[in-house]
Amino acid sequence: MYTTVGELGKCKKCQKINTGKQWCNTCNSEKFQCEFNNWTSGDIEIDKYIQQTQLNATKYEEVIEWIPFDKFNNIEYHAKGGFGKVFKATWSDGHIISWNSEKKIWKRSPHIDVCLKSLNTSTSLGLDRIHKRGLIHKDFHCGNIFNETKISSYITDFGLCQPISQNDKEKIYGVIPYMAPETPNRGEYT
């Protein structure tokens, strides 16, 4: 499929130098775009994010896909955390590696073990309500979530909570192990 030019080779279709091993961003972006109407997560924002990562992928390791639940086998409960449950499963198709031009399908690495996480809906809804009121919690972690029942959770400890408009990017609050990775670097809360 590719001729050797440098370490990454050259795409036989467009003659450009590959951006990754057996990966041509130009040609693969076109293939992804043709498939955008064939799937949906059910959430427009998530769909846009996945599509953008596919269009910008310079190697197969950067590709994110929406995986329908029926593509998972051998689903086993693994653990419960503060925000939901974790499961182990096998992804029957596996992740994309490259384009197979003869068969006109994605070449994949089949039967990949993956982790699945189901989020506690009431916690997500509670956080959404906080954000819709223009507030940032600033100390959101499993220690501040209490489960009243199996389907009802409460977010607590609003001591550091404040309006989004008062967010001081120079100050960092919260418990470091529970902070988003970008927070210590930029002081922004997500």
pTM value? 0.60
CATH of the domain at 149: 1.10.510.10
The string of pLDDT tens digits covering residues 110-160 is 899 998 877 656 566 777 777 787 766 656 666 666 666 655 666 666 666
Q: Report the C-alpha gap between 76 and 29 in whole angstroms.
A: 35
| Tokens, residue 4 | 């050797």
How many separate domains does the chain show?
3
Which structural domain, as residue segments, surrounds residue 112? 67-119
The string of pLDDT tens digits covering residues 62-72 is 999 999 999 99
At 189 the pLDDT is: 47
* pLDDT reading at 188 higher than 60: no
State whether 115 and 75 are in the same domain.
Answer: yes
Buried b (16+ CB within 10 A) or exposed e, 92-114: ebbbbbbbeeeeeebebeeeeee
Check if the beta carbon of residue 24 is closer than 8 Å to that of residue 13: yes
For the segment 84-91, the average pLDDT, to the nearest whole number, is 89
State whether 60 and 6 are in the same domain.
Answer: yes
